[in-house]
Homo-oligomer: A and B are copies of this chain.
Amino acid sequence: MRLIDTICAISTAQGMGAIAVIRLSGPDAIIITDKVFKSIKKEKKLNQQKANTLHYGTIVDGEKDIDEVIVALFKAPHSFTGEDTIEISCHGATYIQQQILQLLIKKGCRLAKPGEFTQRAFLNGKMDLSQAEAVADLIASKSEASRRVALQQMRGGFSNELTKLRERLLWFTSLIELELDFSEEDIEFANRKELFALVEELMSHLKRLIKSFSLGNVIKNGIPVAIVGHTNAGKSTLLNALLQEDKAIVSDIHGTTRDVIEDVINIEGISFRFIDTAGIRKTTDEIETIGINRTFSKISQATIVMLLIDAHDNDEKIHEAVSAVKNRMESEHQKMILVVNKTDLISDKELIDKFQSAKFNELTETDAIVPISAKQQINIEALTSELIKTINLSAIDNDEVIVTNARHYEALQQSLTSLERVEKGLYDMISGDFLAQDIRETLQYLGEITGQINTDEILGTIFKNFCIGK
């Protein structure tokens, strides 16, 4: 019995394509493939071939030919997983993919668990844990910013610096623990001044990383934007103008949009999750009421609330709507954009008179008023630029390290908390054993990020969210 078995999985997207790729990794990957692969050049065994080469031939089950394929051969340690790896490109019929997969399992492979290829890459030292997590983020990336940050993290941009600081801290702990062995002699191996400087440096680094998470979270998950407004103000039309496609039902009948529809669009590399909502109005229609309740709950979840009003609405109605929405906005970080729709139907003078920002004392400085015509697609760009203003993109442009992972964020916060105890301990000149304990705790949390400290539980939680085949 080998300790490590050979795993296999379909690595390309589910369903029918022109081709599909089945990946094998493990000590027997090449031997197992040799059992089912007949090269076009007779008697040629993959076993005797050079690494990083391609081979054309047939997948056979005994006498039965299954498919004509291309086999890619990678040899340990020069593969993604660090193990011998085979990638079989077969014809993309789901039936054929399944037949080959079943054949490989019959010949000794085990079906890979989600993320198991990447987990092996981690366990074989090809990448640390935060890099492994970035692989999943990269695969899930839906915008330019999320792709960029995930790629940077996968390349170790996040963990390299952290690992170095952790090693320096580890050195100090060793010195302090050495002191404990000589405690009766009252010797100080660890220079407290130097340790203090290191703690300060690390704390400032951690604080910067922790702070980056609010941007990181936005990059990874998109910015939630609620579109609210009276029925028939043109919410669906606006959403469609923004999406430039017809995902929401557009109709002239009041209260058509009953479900909360979510859609994501990319503006300058950032994802905005638009939430189209049922109109806010008094209604006796039961389903409609549910829709409206959802609207209000969406306001509190949104980072940006776009209140859409009709340019024709009278002042009272407008102010009532602004107040109603403002009352629902719970955080001071939420931004309201008052979108004045149907401006193509009133004169410029009327528009300016009616919507001078001075008239809206409900709005804060970060809020904005944007006149548009959703139907005529007028001034939509001004609206998108108002949306993008809410986030500071300079960090992405400067390739700064940005934390996008909630697990990292939590570990960083815990590291910081224990470091603050270390800092206070140094001020208070507490004894070495207490100091060492707090430092050890910091080391523990930092180690969890990169995986230098890992438990089956941490690994399990991380890799179960991967897709199979990666």
Contacts and interface: CB of A to CB of B under 8 A. Distances in A.
Contact of A467 (B9, B18, B20, B467): B18
Given A11-B19, A16-B467, A470-B18, A151 B65 contact: yes
Given A13-B12, A19-B12, A117-B18, A141 B53 contact: no
A407 to B, nearest CB: 21
Given A12-B13, A18-B117, A87-B89, 7 more contacts: A12-B17, A12-B18, A14-B15, A14-B17, A54-B73, A72-B72, A91-B135
A145 to B, nearest CB: 11
Nearest to A142: B95
B14 A18 contact: no
Contact of A21 (B19, B52, B73, B139): B19
A147 B93 CA distance: 9
A142 B117 CA distance: 29
A108 interface: no
A12 B117 CA distance: 20
A376 interface: no
Interface in A51-98: 52-55, 65-68, 70, 72-74, 87, 89, 91-96
A270 to B, nearest CB: 13
A146 B54 CA distance: 28
Interface in A1-35: 9, 11-21, 23
A65 to B, nearest CB: 6
A126 to B, nearest CB: 12
Nearest to A15: B13
| Shortest Cβ-Cβ A-B pairs, 9 listed | A18-B470, A13-B17, A18-B469, A12-B12, A52-B54, A13-B13, A13-B15, A11-B18, A12-B17
A91 B139 contact: yes
Contacts of A68: 151, 154-155
Contact of A138 (B9, B91, B117, B467): B91
A162 to B, nearest CB: 21
Contacts of A54: 52-54, 72-74
